[in-house]
Amino acid sequence: MSDEGFDHETAFSLLADETRVRIVEELGHATVSPDAGIPHLTYADLKSRVDVRDSGRFNYHLTKLLGNYVAKGDAGYRLRWPGMVLYRALVAGLLTSDADLSIDRFPTGTDCHRCGDPVEAHLYETLFRVRCWSCDANYADIYVPAQGLVDETPKERLRTVHRRSRTVLDAMTAGQCPWCANAVAVEVHAGDGSLPSLHDTRDLDAYAILRCTNCTGFHYLPVSQVLLYHPATIAFYHDHGVDLSAIPKWELRWAVTDATTEVRGTDPWRFTVRVPLDDDVLVAEIDDDLDVTATRVEEKRR
């Protein structure tokens, strides 16, 4: 196979053979191994690790991977970036069934901002949800690779979900898709009693949709939630001795509801969001592109 790359059909067909998958896995293992040095394996070492005695068969499958997934150099063989992406998807369980992993509902330690009942978390098929089962307010709905949740305590799982959610939304609110790196388009919608998810009944006057312009990357959120990732809010919390990045969004009423959000205009959309902390309030102005146009700190109203 040449260095010109593969079309989609060829790229996927290469994964149909167990030997080729094993080659990718072993090259990936060598890359992350602390005693491997530079991420190359000699022909003999790679063949031994894959455990294929027939040289002709091994050569055939290795040659199929060259050019797109695997590179050959003077030091031996290594994974190219598409091969590394494939390896990471394999070890993360992204290409296999997560049906064997089931996480029943467990408490998060946070009460619902809508009805006051306990907010719980569980794994629903491939999505990890943090929601209130009493009123169906949904505070987080994010895909987390199963390998990131196995053998973790409930507290550790919530931390993993929080970090995953923050990573994905930080990229999307910055305008870049976390999955394909293309641009993200912003749309603000008026709340009409329904949200894009059938599992979310929060009452929002308005909400934002973040949609990748290339792939199916998609997320919706209260307008105020963009402030979770803005330097003014991070600095505001830091000035009060608090690390905002360590706080799960479902614990922050201002970020998961529109209780402190005021719609100042609809054509174009304009918002004022108040973020309370101790005796102060960060006041942020947000436009229809979800850009923060101005901020100021005020004393909390008595």
Q: Of 69, 58, 94, 52, which is closest to residue 13 (Cα–Cα)?
A: 69
Question: Does residue 279 fall inside a structural domain?
Answer: yes
Q: Is residue 202 part of a domain?
A: no
In-domain check, residue 278: yes
- Asked, for residue 71, whether it belongs to a domain, the answer is yes
pLDDT in tens, 170-226: 999 999 999 889 999 999 999 887 888 878 889 999 999 999 999 888 999 999 999
Question: Which domain CATH number covers 35?
Answer: 1.10.10.10
Crossing angle between the packed helical segments 18-32 and 55-65, to the nearest 10 degrees: 70
Domain end point (choices 63, 92, 121):
92
Last residue of a domain, one of 42, 71, 92: 92
Closest CA to 200 of 101, 119, 109, 291: 119
Instruction: Cis check for the bond before 268: say yes or no (omega within 30 of 0).
Output: yes
Long-range contacts (CB closer than 8 Å, 24 or more residues apart) made by 278-282: 278/240, 280/236, 280/240, 282/227, 282/232, 282/233, 282/236
Residue at 272 is within a domain: yes
Cα separation of 112 and 251, whole Å?
A: 9
Residue 261 pLDDT class (50, 70, 90 cuts): very high
pLDDT tens digits, residue range 140-173?
Answer: 999 888 777 888 899 999 999 999 999 999 999 9
Residue 174 lies in a domain: no
Q: Which range of residues forms the domain containing residue 272? A: 225-299
If phi > 0 it is left, if psi is from -120 to 50 it is alpha, else beta; for residue 278 that is: left
138 vs 194, which has greater pLDDT?
138
User: 28 lies in a domain?
Assistant: yes
With respect to residue 112, please indicate whether it lies within any of the assigned structural domains: no
Of 62, 92, 122, the residue that ends a domain is 92
